[in-house]
Every structure is written in C-alpha cells, then in structure tokens.
C-alpha cells in the first residue's frame, strides 16, 4: 500500500462507469415502470392521445409538425390547424390530461432516477465499503477523501445526491424534458453545453482528474490495490507522525 495518491487509471474508471451506467439505466427503467403504474400515467397519456386523434380527424390536420412544416402549408391548411389547436386548448379534459402527462413525466423521471442513485450509488457503496459501486468493485477502484481518509456516508451522500443526481443528471434531464415539450429553447441548450464544458475543464485541470461530484465532496477515485486508505483522521495523523519520526531518525543516524 502507498500513501501517495494512486489515481485509478482512466480505462478502469471508464469501464466501471459504463458498467454502473448500464445498471443505473436498468434500475431507472424498472422504477419508472413501477411509478407509472402507481401514478396512473398511462391513463392520462391515453386520454391525451385520444383527444389529439379526435381533433386531428375532425379538422383534417396533424398537430405534430415543425414550424417550418407549418409555414409551408397553404393559408387554408394553416387556418384549419389553428382552429383545431384552439378547439383542443379549450377542451378542459384534454388540457387536464396534457398537464398531468407533463407533471407525471417530471415526477416519474425524477423519482425513478433518485431511487436508482440511492440504491446503486449510495446504499451499495455503503454496504461494500470504500465508496465502491458494483462497477468499481469489479475493476478495483475505491473512492476516498482527497486526504486519503475513508469516505463517510455524509460525503458519499453529497457526492451522489448533490453531484451526480442533481447537477450532473437531473438538471440535464429536466432541460431535455422541457425542450421536448417546447417549454424552453436555446437557453436550455446553452445550460447543457455549460455543464459539459465544466466537466471537461475539471477533468483536465484538477490534479485528481475529478468530475463535479468529486469536487463537491472532496473525494477521488483511486486504485484499491495500491492506495493506502486510512480509517479516520487520527489514523492518518499517527501514520504521518510515524513517517516523520523515522525520517528524523535516519537523518540523525
């Protein structure tokens, strides 16, 4: 074991990330399906689709078109589309279903991702110890504090919930949902680009090659086999004192 920082190699980190990402996607999909059934998402979505189909058939239009496609239509076709749209938004049942679909999409996405992170990125590392997810366990990677002390549950919570879940995942996901429902435009794309840029800059400029979640929690991914990880600060101080005493003894000799 070596006291100096033994960063995990990039290929190991990427391999562990891909493995954990696959597990995370599977967990999110499972939680999303369960929440969808519990919250009645399919019922509201079916009602909304039925409303769309009814007004499209009645007015002879298709709602799902781009602005460019709308501009290319004749004046009569544009008039018919506008009349169909006005009729749709005046339909209280249709608008209720529309609002429920949007709200439930946000709620289900948020909760499914949160539950997946809590299980795979918080509960599992606490159980395995040394901040190891299943992917990190397989590829021999540990997570510790930057001062070589074992990561604690509070720091792991900050790393997972504030860093990975909130900043690195939910902000991009919510922006993508808002873009899909035409609730935000170029600003959303700029925010996504900014988050990606910050991640790249941190990976390049920090001596630990850390992402946002590690910077927030003051943690680092290290090679489990060669890194010396201390149980607590007292053990770290005792080790430093021992090394210092041995150094002084050698100098005196």
Q: Which of 163, 227, 174, 151 is nearest to 199 (CA)?
A: 163
Enter the pTM of the model: 0.83
CB 221 within 8 A of CB 136: yes
Between residues 181 and 227, the one the model is more confident about: 227
- Segment 74-97, tens digit of pLDDT: 888 889 999 999 999 999 999 999
Q: Give the per-residue pLDDT at 2.
A: 52
- Segment 1-36, tens digit of pLDDT: 555 788 888 899 999 999 999 999 999 999 999 999
CB 221 within 8 A of CB 8: yes
User: Mean pLDDT across the stretch 118-125?
Assistant: 96
Q: What percent of the chain has pLDDT over 70?
A: 97
- Segment 137-162, tens digit of pLDDT: 999 999 999 988 999 999 999 999 99
Quickly count: other Cβ atoms within 10 Å of residue 27's Cβ: 19
> Is residue 252's pLDDT more than 70?
no
Residue 169 CA to residue 177 CA, distance in Å, equals 12
Please report the beta strands in the chain, taking only residues with DSSP state E, as ranges in sequence order: 141-145, 219-223
Residue 125 CA to residue 168 CA, distance in Å, equals 19
């Amino acid at each position: 074991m070596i006291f100096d920082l033994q960063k995990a190699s990039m290929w190991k980190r990427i391999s562990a990330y891909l493995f954990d990402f696959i597990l995370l996607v599977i967990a999110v999909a499972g939680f999303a399906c369960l929440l969808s059934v519990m919250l009645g998402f399919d019922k509201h979505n079916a009602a909304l689709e039925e409303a769309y189909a009814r007004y499209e058939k009645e007015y002879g239009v298709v709602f799902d078109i781009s602005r460019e496609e709308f501009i290319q239509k004749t004046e009569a076709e544009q008039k018919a589309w506008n009349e169909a749209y006005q009729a749709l938004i005046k339909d209280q049942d249709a608008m209720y279903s529309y609002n429920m679909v949007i709200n439930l999409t946000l709620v289900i996405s948020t909760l499914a991702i949160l539950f997946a992170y809590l299980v795979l990125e918080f509960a599992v590392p606490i159980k395995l110890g040394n901040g190891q997810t299943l992917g990190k366990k397989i590829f021999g990677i540990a997570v510790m504090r930057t001062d070589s002390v074992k990561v604690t549950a509070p720091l792991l919570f900050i790393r997972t919930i504030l860093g990975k879940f909130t900043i690195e995942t939910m902000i991009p996901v919510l922006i993508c949902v808002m873009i899909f429902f035409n609730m935000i435009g170029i600003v959303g794309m700029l925010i996504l680009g900014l988050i990606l840029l910050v991640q790249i800059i941190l990976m390049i400029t920090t001596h630990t090659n850390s992402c946002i979640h590690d910077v927030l929690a003051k943690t680092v991914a290290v090679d489990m086999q060669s890194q010396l990880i201390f149980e607590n600060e007292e053990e770290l101080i005792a080790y430093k004192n021992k090394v210092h005493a041995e150094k002084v003894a050698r100098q005196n000799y």
